[in-house]
Structure 1
Amino acid sequence: MRRQGRALVPPAVGAGRASRFRPEGPDTWIGLDGYYAGETLTVGRTADGTANHLNLATFIFSRTPYDPAAPIPGGLDENGWR
């Protein structure tokens, strides 16, 4: 949701963390309050410019859980989970 040039990110379900963000530049927002106060939110894009994930303080949010097109902070161990 956007109000007065700012974004409000409510929890998808229930009473989780809600935060407000102000635009800082193209595809960049700064958290104003709560858990994400002062944190940077950026829009991740594919090579053709399509938005495919959000990076919020190293938390990656995508429409598809474990989206192979979204980055994974720290990468994956090629040997898998142990």
Structure 2
Amino acid sequence: MVTFDVSYSSRSRKFLKKVDKILAKRLVEKIEKLMENPIIHDTKTVEGSKGLFRIRVGDYRILYEVDYRNNLIGVIKIDKRRRIYD
């Protein structure tokens, strides 16, 4: 089984540093699940954006893209649902 590496954008790293530790842990655990299978059962594609996916963690969303050629998941943005697409 192939495992994927994860690359965080500066925006997503900054978000994880500013939220409380419990929420950050939940978000990182969800991202770590993607390392084994980048398209898990609750993954949705983002309409109008080819190759962009989102997963839900409570009121928060994680936007990411998958590079199958390099086995890399790029976490683009993490934020609340109402702000994620700004």
With structure 2 as the length reference, what TM-score do the two structures score? 0.30
With structure 1 as the length reference, what TM-score do the two structures score? 0.31
Q: Which has the higher strand share?
A: 1
Q: Which has the higher helix share?
A: 2
Structure number with larger C-alpha Rg: 1
